[in-house]
């Protein structure tokens, strides 16, 4: 397989893991059904998010929501795919390629839900006492980890440039 295609295969694997996990939740839990996994810390709960992160735009009218959440997401995904294609050609950019693969795979999983169902299935509920993190999914986790890796890679690059200068 071409060096440039491997990161896209990883993105497809992330999307597949996201789809499988969401299908399992949809088949196993009714909406808003909750299973306690680790008391006081972690539950599985079946929710549907019509908005984006933190339910932003969830209450917007359908045409605005579709344009913002599908149209803009597709444009951003195209930009990320171009960046990934370029990074994959450079062996020194492995961290950047891995990060972009995670972001693209996660974004693909969530955009699939938005196009197919008009909402994203979320189910991972992390909390401590009454303090809950917004419910999320495998795609959201991949996007977050990818973004953190990109930040780390930029920080390491800046540190290398400073050391050379």
Give the span between the Cα atoms of 160 and 152, in whole angstroms. 12
CA atoms within 13 A on the CB side of 116: 12
Give the span between the Cα atoms of 162 and 154, in whole angstroms. 12
The strand pairing partners of 131, in sequence order, are: 128
Candidates 18, 113, 122, 125; catalytic one = 122
140 annotated active-site:
yes
What is residue 41's DSSP assignment?
T
Candidates 18, 113, 125, 140; catalytic one = 140
122 annotated active-site:
yes
Burial environment of residue 99 by CB neighbours within 10 A (0 to 12, 13 to 18, 19 or more): buried
Residues designated catalytic:
122, 140
């Amino acid at each position: 397989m071409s060096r440039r295609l491997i990161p896209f295969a990883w993105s497809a694997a992330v999307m597949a893991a996201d789809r499988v996990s969401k299908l399992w939740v949809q088949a196993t839990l009714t909406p808003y059904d909750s299973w306690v996994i680790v008391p006081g810390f972690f539950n599985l709960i079946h929710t549907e998010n019509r908005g984006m992160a933190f339910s932003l735009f969830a209450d917007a009218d359908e045409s605005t929501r579709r344009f913002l959440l599908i149209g803009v997401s597709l444009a951003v995904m195209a930009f990320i795919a171009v960046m990934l294609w370029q990074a994959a050609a450079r062996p020194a950019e492995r961290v950047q390629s891995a990060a972009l693969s995670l972001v693209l795979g996660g974004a693909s999983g969530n955009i699939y839900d938005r196009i197919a169902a008009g909402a994203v299935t979320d189910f991972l509920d992390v909390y401590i006492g009454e303090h809950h993190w917004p419910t999320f999914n495998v795609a959201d986790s991949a996007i977050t980890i990818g973004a953190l890796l990109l930040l780390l890679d930029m920080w390491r690059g800046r540190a290398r440039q400073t050391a050379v200068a």
